[in-house]
Amino acid sequence: MVTNRLRAFLKSWTVAGRIVGVSFRAQLEYRADFVMSIVVGAVWQVSIIVFATVLLGRFPGMSGWSSDAVLLVASMRMLSHGLNVLFFGRVHHMASLVQNGMIDGFLLRPMPVFRQVQLTVFPTNAIGDLLVGVSMFTGAVMAVSLDWTAARIAYVVAGIIGGTLMEAAIFTVVSSLHFRYPSSNYWSLWVEEMLSTFGNYPLSILPGIVSGSLTFVLPLAFIAYFPAAVLTGHTAGVGVPVALAVASPLVGLAAFIGARCLWNRSLRQYTGVNG
């Protein structure tokens, strides 16, 4: 029984890998568009870096955070964002998938619908996001004054993975609403704008009600701010118990599991493109 399940599991992911390969090769058929997608992803992230650099040049200290520590927050957020786009980013297109009736077709196939959503297209722009994210993260790690022990390395890796899962959880929750309200794609755009605007800086620079909302309503703080605060020793002003800030990677995992449960429940209640 266990062997059969393992064989079925490996077979399903082998099929998924082949679909990814076909989608990637299809993107390569249009070389100019392929390159442009990468460039657009990179330029968008570079524009954020330029803005952050100018801001840090005018205001070297942000609520007690050094410029290098702030760049660590921004780089962890960008790297988590790039990984989210690569592995989970197609939920951004849920509104159009529902409106075009593609979900109805997915329900007829012997593969989880969530996985089929992620396999609809290869996210070429994620390559540009990750190129910039990895470069900035490498520079931030080299610049920040920390002794990179094995424990810190393990925690920063866990923090990036947890941030990826938290961002995926946020957009998965938003995408689950599209099953009932398929024309509400502006919600995803608003959330993405909030993440890119506030996710690159310490939330302690914001008024308490705003930072609290970005912690407990839209849990942006768990993506990069809390893990970076733990790494750099700025946990005194994060506005939550230190244990909760330290547990950010686990919170991201729990949030993603909860978001998937909500998504699956919304899918079971989906009545089709015509209602």
Q: Which amino acid is at 165?
A: L
Q: How far apart are CA 133 and CA 224, in angstroms?
A: 13
Please name which of 60, 87, 58 lies closest in space to residue 71, comparing C-alpha atoms: 60
Assess contact for 259 and 169: CB atoms under 8 A: yes
CA distances from 231 to 33, 63, 145, 235 (A): 40, 16, 11, 9
| Phi, psi of 237, rounded to the nearest 5 degrees | -110, 25
pLDDT at position 274 is: 61
pTM, 2 dp: 0.89
Q: How far apart are CA 249 and CA 155, in angstroms?
A: 9
Q: What is the CA radius of gyration of the chain?
A: 20
For 81-114, give the DSSP string: HHHHHHHHGGGGGHHHHHHTTHHHHHTTSSS-HH
Domain boundaries, given as residue ranges, for the chain: 2-268
Residue stretches of the chain with pLDDT short of 70: 1-2, 48-63, 273-275
Q: How far apart are CA 110 and CA 76, in angstroms?
A: 36
pLDDT at position 60 is: 60
pLDDT at position 254 is: 97
Q: How far apart are CA 181 and CA 75, in angstroms?
A: 34
Assess contact for 148 and 68: CB atoms under 8 A: no
Reported as a single tens digit per residue, the pLDDT across 121-143 is 888 888 888 888 898 899 889 88
pLDDT at position 105 is: 87
Reported as a single tens digit per residue, the pLDDT across 187-234 is 888 888 888 888 888 888 888 898 899 999 999 999 999 999 999 998
CA distances from 129 to 43, 86, 120 (A): 9, 9, 19
Partners of residue 62 on adjacent β-strands: 65
